[in-house]
Structure 1
Amino acid sequence: MKARSVVVGGLAVVLMLVLAACGSTDEQPEDGPRAVTSEEAQLLAVTRFRNFDAGSRAFSTSISVSGVATELTGWVDWEAALGYATASGSFDAEALLWSDATVGAILTTPDADGFPAMPIPDTDEAGWQFQELDPEASPLFALLATISALGQDRPDNPLLVQQSGALRLRSGVIDGTAVTVFAAPPTDEPLEATASADPDASPLRLWVDGDGLLRRAEVHLNASWTAVDFGADGPRLALPEGGS
């Protein structure tokens, strides 16, 4: 398995991955969704770059896989274009290792916090099962691909973010940190001058703090919203020597 760079052109590309498969929170009631201001567009435009600049971050989420509740706990390293997480539930825990092209699974014993065993087992080791990471194949694969696409090596174009329909939905608090909840642009093209953005048109919501750091992403999968919570910086991920 060879890690390859994630190449994405804009926030709307992240949404395409979602559409192919289709801490405590205290929300504060206020006015309804509205178009982002120039300042908010600037904040949203740096979010994926902030992830990439952080290198690796911990995340946790849960998703139903063929009717089975599955918890994912791990890390995503946007600079290395790799993700590594424990998949656990009413089955033997597995470690998932994915790039933008492939995903592999191997039995694992998670640590006390639910993270997969480190270092990453050699991918030539018996027990690994690899396949193409096709977002259209399953909601799980769409979720993994979306998580990988939430980091890139340059900021998005803030003017295009604003023109293509990004919305400010509301404010909130995650683990004591104030955030703004955005609906990502549903397209990477500017909207018609007379068009109004629809908050239900975007399958991706981003919970962003005042520094542009992503605290949570909500992805619309399986006809419901799946929350992915991001935590502290994680270990840098790399394929073992001899991995292919």
Structure 2
Amino acid sequence: MPLPADDAGRPRGAGRPHRLTARGGGDQAVPREPGRRHRRARTSSPARPATVAGRRRRAEAGLGRSPALPARPGGDPELDGADDPPDGPGHRRIMLAALAGAAVISATALVAALLAWVPGRSEPAGTARPLTPAEVDRVAALRVTNLRDVRAGVRITVGAGGARTELVGWIDWARPLVYLDVGGPGAGADRGLAQATTSALLVRPDPAALPTPARPPLVPPTDRWRMRDPAGGHGLGAVRDLLIGLGATRVDPPGTDGRWLRHDSVDGVPVDVLQAPLPVSGDPRLTLWLDADARLHRLAGRLADGTPVTVELSRADRPTLHPVDALGGRPGQPRDLTDDEAERLAALPARLRAVGGAAVTATAPLGPSATLRGTGTLSWTTSSAYLVVIEDDSGRRTLRWARPGRVAEVHRSPDGPATPRTPVPAALLSAPARPPGDDLDRLLDAALRAAVHAPQGAAVRVREDRLADRAVDVVEVPGGRRWWLDRGGLPHRLELRAGSGVWVRLDLAPGRVPAGSPAPTSR
């Protein structure tokens, strides 16, 4: 059979031998055009696809590619990738480098997790880490931030279970002052109200108070306050020290052993939960809930005796606090005296001599078991004072006769009269005199000497106040004394700062001294 001719009329393939290829394994030869590649036709024969596919998979495996799966019968070669060209050597190098990098990253993460893990920590493994420099600075500024904010509401739990004491109230870092309602199953005899400064702790027990504490009244009651030993009282002294110690005038030195634990929120405010020591506590593992502005929202740790304590602070609850009279009374705006006020103070000795004397009531919290209360008279004419003094706890009673620089006293039975009888007993008049001893003696001595010499030195008007429905100016003079003077210049109270940090007071009702008061004596 003649070969087909091309456009030039020559037979195709003329002058060149043509090749024959076997097809289908038969012996029929099929001519192949020279210089032209023929695409092998696919066949559905079961023998050939397996052979071709096997060769392809072996070839791709040698090039580092995943071998292609055999095409499903009737599959589209454009979709199954059977005819895609093999990947080049550059692609293989990229794939190997990516796998090696992933292995290194996984190993690094595993080592970091092992180093960060601390046995017994409740947080998920790997979350705790050392503090960043910015977090260290926030912890160092925590106490200064509190002082700048002045006040905050507090809710405190001391102890756990049936022995816990719960306290609700406020802390004023600027004064400083703590004012709390004490409750909970472990409150015991301290159930009631408490106020404290850095040097004194006062309680007002109320056994009938509800077991669950509530916010104390903003204006505290005026009666039944007594000093409490800071070392006792279900941790009241330790709580006082912790709260007041959370305020400071200077930034603390940066710590070196703190830990960041996790993110959290308190009343909708985002905080970081940190573990770091503070100078106010001996617990090196205090947990602090601290916001981005270095404001503390919660604290958990242990007191010095190991008792667990939790403090929650309400940064928006910031009322002005009113200390009880024994702690100085409500705050004012101290200023220098005006000319009129200075003249009234200078005229005080003459007014005292003119009025003659006053009925007096003394209140002197001298210690946890020594709150003294006295009732009697004071004569500026005879320069003497005569009182019955009763000690709260023991009921012990004495008659006390005071003169400038000297005091005499005799004991009386606990069931004796609460007011001094007249005339003055001869036993008291003949009792040996001694120098003023306790703060009540010093208070009486200051009241008697005021009729001789006007206060010396710079005086300060602390505030305006009211006493028995009368407007008075509270004027503080050198020596830790405060006179409560009405607009006419007569005194209605004299206070003296005691060594324990409380103010002892003598309430005065100026007027005629009852007959039978002690006469002047040369002894």
Structure 2 counterpart of 1:155, one-letter code? V
TM-aligned CA deviation for residue 129 of structure 1: 2.0
- TM-score, normalization by structure 1: 0.68
Alignment partner of 1:97 is 2:195:
yes
**Aligned partner letter, 1:182:** L
Q: 1:129 aligns with which of 205, 226, 229?
A: 226
Distance 1:186 1:105 in 2: 28
Q: What corresponds to 2:241 in structure 1?
A: 145
Q: 2:301 — aligned with what?
A: 219
Structure number with greater Rg is 2
Change (3 A) 1:171 1:79: same
Q: What is the distance in 2 between the residues matched to 1:56 and 1:186?
A: 19
Q: What CA distance in whole angstroms lies between the structure 2 residues aligned with 1:75 and 1:187?
A: 21
Query: What is the identity, as a one-letter code, of the residue corresponding to 1:55?
Result: V
Question: Does residue 230 of the first structure (1) align with residue 326 of the second (2)?
Answer: no
Structure 1: state its 5+ residue gaps: 1-26, 189-200
Contact 1:178/1:209, CA 8 A, preserved across alignment: yes
Query: Which residue pairs with 2:172 in the alignment?
Result: 77
How many residues end up aligned between the 2 structures?
197
**Residue matched to 2:375:** none
Looking at structure 2, the residues matched to 152 and 87 of structure 1 have their Cα atoms a distance apart, in angstroms, of: 26
Equivalent residue, structure 2, for 1:60: 155
Cα pair 2:167 2:213 within 8 Å, conserved: no
CA root-mean-square deviation:
3.3
In structure 2, do the counterparts of structure 1 residues 34 and 224 end up closer, same or farther at CA, with 3 Å as the change threshold? farther
Q: Is the 8 A contact 1:54 1:233 kept in 2?
A: no
1:31: Cα distance to partner? 2.6
* Alpha-carbon distance in structure 1 between the residues aligned to 2:325 and 2:270: 42
Q: Pick from 140, 144, 157 the counterpart of residue 49 of structure 1.
A: 144
**CA shift digits 1:30-79 (9 cap, x unpaired):** 63433211111111122111111111100102224996332200000000
Q: Give the drift of 1:103.
A: 1.3
Instruction: Say if 2:285 and 2:301, in contact at 8 Å, map to a contact too.
Output: yes
**Corresponding residue to 1:40 among 135, 143, 150:** 135
| Distance change (3 Å), C-alpha of 1:64 and 1:55 | same
2:288 matched to 1:209?
no
What's the % identity of the aligned pairs? Answer: 25
Distance in 2 of aligned mates of 1:187 and 1:48: 10
More contact order relative to length (CA 8 Å, sep ≥ 6): 1
Structure 2: gaps spanning 5 or more residues: 1-121, 329-502, 504-523
Describe the SS at the equivalent of 1:47.
Answer: helix
Q: Give the number of the structure whose residues are more often strand, by fraction.
A: 1
TM-score by length of 2: 0.34
After superposition, the Cα gap between the structure-2 partners of 1:187 and 1:120, relative to the gap in structure 1 and judged at 3 Å, is closer
User: Which range is displaced more, 177-186 or 79-88?
Assistant: 177-186
Q: Describe the SS at the equivalent of 1:156.
A: coil
